[in-house]
Structure 1
């Protein structure tokens, strides 16, 4: 039976048994834990008698610590010491007896399974199931002999296989399909986009294949900070072990994961327990990776993840002290001469923070270092201005030369989203030929259509497609689907361009009246007489040189015993000054010239002049309304100055660069690098369309004129 058929089987149980008792969006509260319970129960059935015998023997001997012995008797990393198998409960008739026995059955599971049940909060559902008299019916449905939820095959009496076992990733896929359906019924946006096995296999190949020859016999740690049902970790483990075996090596793989959603965490832990990896199951941690990192001092060889994108992490940010006060060394680091370089992104989308978390856990002292594959949507490529958290993460990654490649996946490859998605491949041990470079691979056309959609997923990566992508990546060749760029191709300077404030002053009676009102409001009545005197000396005509006007004000203010403070100067400027493109620039500061001025000094707003026979440097007041920014690529021939001379000064000769405000940013544009213009239509086709429209409109006009007669 296929994964889809098993998903449909379980979904039908929900529809048959729970309808009218639960709203459809709440089916998951019963169905998910019951699926796990049946999967656990099926594994334990053959050794049930041995476990009960061992339990009786240990109790009789007064042994307190029984876990290891009971696991050995069960032949698994878990056990159940109740008197019941799940099938023993199906025939119970009386409600209260069934309730009591079922609760005893649940209580009989080992402590590691108890954590799984607790995260599902399944015991809270038992009273409802008993009161509706559907608990026995529910159990019978899950015992259907035509379906095998166990990882072990069901055999015929002759030993041949009747039903294949259901491996962990397949079980995870079934759970994810069920969760997707439940969310749709409840009109919920999942927030997480579950990763189908084809994409997971591709990610595993991308991190393991390039270093297959360097894998040595030994222990390797694999980590997923948003592990969901754990499928990505188990596929990575399988891939690494196979590659090592093919190269004659023996490796021990330890899995580490963290998950914030209780149901999916419970599933991931249950599956590892089912695999007989009880110790590994303890490495699955519940909680938020961002605000409650379960592995703060651990480093990993391989990391792969599909973090939530487009999902708020504000609650995590608040728990960590808020954007201004956060001090977590994963997200506030030293880089580019900045001791408090921030990797903190917008609170509305935390996907790049998950990437920063992974990068903080890279191994630095091993031959292979660390390799990472992480899924992101398009916003990770370009969202965020220079100096923002998103851009800072990109800058940190690229300037450290960790980014090997980004692969654009086909649209609609995921279950819960049809948007564009990308796999980032990173390493802190780049091969020599990759150093200083980033490869972009457009794999959007490499897919196989599905016969039937799974949610929004309408295509998949077939083995040939995965081979094509891996070959394009491993060969590092440039062609229509693969392009290689120097790291600097993605960097730019964000330059602030200023233009001078130009003010004229009119001293008409109405202007002076408005000025008098402003002075009274500001408590500066002493300026009124000063300005009336200035008006008498200069006349009402527009004065196009604000600097000369202020000199006259200074002179008369001194005569009136009024000191011209910065506040009073500002009041005159805002109350009497009017912007005029023909006016002289307002001088902000004049300083003594120190030696010969550089030829490009005006580019930075420092203008050498001679005033009263002395060489000085004049700086103008900037006009905030004319302020603009320019993005200057790192690869710009001649750099910032050449760009400004070519692109800005011909249009605004008085512009200058505000030197202290230049910020470095990074962005990656797949669209620009892989843009394919649509071919122009033949003129004959266009003419035919126009003539057809003419005929159609003439017919409409005829109807209007004749009244449709």
Structure 2
């Protein structure tokens, strides 16, 4: 759309709000009137030429055919669209015949709105337009608003017209309507000190996406095509895709039927989208309102093409309950089959963190891809994302699992990095993901990354955050790079670059490196004193014991009120379970028993320091057995933890000693993929007796991880990068996770060498001379 015409139309509509609604609505509420009236006038203007034909068809159905219920098909044929209005009114007639009575005007307007077909009535309801009409009538501004919107100097139809002076009024396409909508939203929200929250997709980005989706198969398009957008907004991406395919002057000019499907959560945007679907002759029932994530509206459907710009950086926490039940995924769209390191397949979580749901929309589209056995072409997807989709999330996280599923199933064909400040309401870097489940042989197992971040032209005037655009030559250059599927080196800073990667290049093993626990131990009164208290309730228990002594064991009920009041006064927050534990004599007596056991052990073992924790535990076990003291494993751990600490000079702590027969040893070696000499690298250290192996406790504070490229051997990487620096470490393969991430910065980074010291020195001296000359000139000493 012509930007000048776009800005002129937006300014005119904005002036309606400023001229008519001031003092009637607060600025933040202007949109509640302006947006629905813009859509209404767009529909009304289209129906004006066929108004007489519709009324004749209505009279025929009522008077001659004797219908008691209207034949919608006949009325739609008469109007020329999939909608109609059977009232005697149009917006112009409402204005031209209006009296000074706002009450009569309101009644006539209500009759006009009730005359619309059911599909338009839904749009009116989504905008809550009737209540706005009543409010404007009550404030005596409805007639003024009507005058502005029926002006012959604006054109809200998708057809070119002339104004009374004979000047051309450009057509307002679906995309143009989207631009108007986006700009009005931006202005309204700026006036209200709010963020727009929308990221409307610029025309040239949609143009690029359609080229990348359709051009590679333009000679193989099916006779019937379905296009889907799960976050369709005002529908611009859908209708522009349709225009791209069907345009008589375009490069494709497909003859088949095109069916558009979409879903939008925002009522206003949905109403605009649905109205434009009706105007274009598409089935408006294929556009649904509501959350794509909460409800699988098109369950069981698959689509040939999908294009979308889903919301990014937007929380989906309010929709978690529809997707998860606790930790279990209840929506099959967001659980995927993946294999662990050992090749065992399992269903894993494919949901990102709740603060950003953009990858869920991508999984919705993946779920709707046509299997190749249903369609020779399969499905093709273009989806716009910000950078977090490329790398956010560690191995095993929902984000990484999504990337892994897409890449390992060979669905990712390419990603294009776009310039910054290309969108209207965000300046962040964006990327177009291109997915295809039926790659050509030369592309199978590979992905092309295209860095087009420097391919743009500056705008003469900013449009919101947008200060640049993609021109025809930039789109053609990116498209040709994608079609060629070859490496392209950047010759100049503002050139395009492209690189081909194997799928596995993006994958890595996250490997856990363990080190042995080395503990010393010693009984002292200070170390065991805190065993009197539950570690989660230490502060209030300590206060109670210091103030009430042994009364906490014999008459806890009498001090319960004071104890809970102390917690409130000291802002010590307690859950219901912890509150019950704190005021239960059972808790106090249990901790006292643990303390008594520790005192008994200290008396028997003494207060000598043990440099070998294994010997110390042996002494503890022997004493407990000799004294016939029974402790649970948890109670024993409390005592041992209280009297031990890490010391690098101490002996390693043995977790267990294990005897392995030849058959078991062979299975272990096969499982680990190593030789017997390599077993210490995986935590199995030779013992003192034949066939015996020692497994040491790991020190969690010293636990580390390494990212090992998927194409590399974990063991070889460990021997090269880890073992030389940490000799007593080992690999815990059972903790190994597989992750995927894509880093444009790493792949396309160009090193800029530092300038020489001579060059920097020369520049400093030149600046000093220049500044001295300026000072002399100021002082008139030259």
Taking structure 2 as the reference length, what is the TM-score of the superposition? 0.83
Q: For 2:702, which of 609, 613, 626 is the aligned residue?
A: 626
Specify the SS of the correspondent of 1:119. helix
For 2:249 and 2:333, locate their aligned partners in 1 and report how far apart those are by CA, in whole Å: 32
Residue 516 to residue 6, structure 1, CA distance change in 2 (3 Å) = closer
Residue 565 to residue 318, structure 1, CA distance change in 2 (3 Å) = closer
What's 2:655 paired with? 588
Specify the SS of the correspondent of 1:105. helix
Residue 171 to residue 516, structure 1, CA distance change in 2 (3 Å) = closer
Q: For 1:653, which of 714, 727, 740 is the aligned residue?
A: 727
Q: CA shift at 1:289, angstroms?
A: 0.7
Q: Does structure 1 retain, via aligned residues, the 8 Å contact 2:404–2:740?
A: yes
Q: CA shift at 1:671, angstroms?
A: 0.6
Q: Does 1:523 align with 2:594?
A: yes
For 1:240 and 1:697, locate their aligned partners in 2 and report how far apart those are by CA, in whole Å: 63
Q: Does structure 1 retain, via aligned residues, the 8 Å contact 2:265–2:289?
A: yes
For 1:166 and 1:244, locate their aligned partners in 2 and report how far apart those are by CA, in whole Å: 19
For 2:200 and 2:229, locate their aligned partners in 1 and report how far apart those are by CA, in whole Å: 13
For 1:517 and 1:272, locate their aligned partners in 2 and report how far apart those are by CA, in whole Å: 69
1:356-375 deviation per Cα after TM superposition (whole angstroms, max 9, x unaligned): 00000000121110000000
Residue 95 to residue 557, structure 1, CA distance change in 2 (3 Å) = closer
What's 2:716 paired with? 642
For 1:508 and 1:84, locate their aligned partners in 2 and report how far apart those are by CA, in whole Å: 95
Taking structure 1 as the reference length, what is the TM-score of the superposition? 0.92
What's 2:492 paired with? none
For 1:71 and 1:520, locate their aligned partners in 2 and report how far apart those are by CA, in whole Å: 81
Q: For 2:510, which of 483, 494, 497 is the aligned residue?
A: 494
Residue 163 to residue 552, structure 1, CA distance change in 2 (3 Å) = closer
For 1:554 and 1:86, locate their aligned partners in 2 and report how far apart those are by CA, in whole Å: 93
Q: CA shift at 1:156, angstroms?
A: 8.4
Q: For 2:142, which of 113, 135, 139 is the aligned residue?
A: 135
What's 2:626 paired with? 559
Q: For 1:153, which of 153, 156, 160 is the aligned residue?
A: 160
1:568-619 deviation per Cα after TM superposition (whole angstroms, max 9, x unaligned): 5423421221210000011111111323672221122111111xx4441111
Q: CA shift at 1:643, angstroms?
A: 1.6
What's 1:701 paired with? none
Q: CA shift at 1:378, angstroms?
A: 0.2
Q: Does structure 2 retain, via aligned residues, the 8 Å contact 1:494–1:664?
A: yes
Specify the SS of the correspondent of 2:426. coil
Q: For 2:433, which of 419, 424, 435 is the aligned residue?
A: 424
1:534-556 deviation per Cα after TM superposition (whole angstroms, max 9, x unaligned): 22xxx72x321111222233344
Q: Does structure 1 retain, via aligned residues, the 8 Å contact 2:246–2:253?
A: no
Q: For 2:244, which of 219, 234, 239 is the aligned residue?
A: 239
Count the aligned residue pairs: 686
What are structure 1's unaligned runs of at least 5 residues?
Answer: 699-709
What's 2:127 paired with? 120
What's 2:186 paired with? 180
What's 2:745 paired with? 671
Q: For 1:80, which of 79, 85, 95 is the aligned residue?
A: 85
Q: Does structure 2 retain, via aligned residues, the 8 Å contact 1:378–1:422?
A: yes
Q: For 2:284, which of 281, 284, 287 is the aligned residue?
A: 281
1:6-38 deviation per Cα after TM superposition (whole angstroms, max 9, x unaligned): 112111111111122112221111011111111
Residue 378 to residue 515, structure 1, CA distance change in 2 (3 Å) = closer
Q: CA shift at 1:521, angstroms?
A: 3.4
What are structure 2's unaligned runs of at least 5 residues?
Answer: 490-496, 535-589, 670-675, 773-782
- Comparing 135-144 with 317-326, greater Cα deviation is found at 317-326
Q: CA shift at 1:513, angstroms?
A: 7.1
Q: Does 1:369 align with 2:369?
A: no
What's 1:471 paired with? 480
What's 1:604 paired with? 682
Q: CA shift at 1:651, angstroms?
A: 1.9
Q: Does 1:34 align with 2:37?
A: yes
What's 2:646 paired with? 579
Q: CA shift at 1:385, angstroms?
A: 1.0
Specify the SS of the correspondent of 2:332. coil
What's 2:62 paired with? 59
Q: Does structure 1 retain, via aligned residues, the 8 Å contact 2:517–2:646?
A: yes
Q: Does structure 1 retain, via aligned residues, the 8 Å contact 2:447–2:501?
A: yes
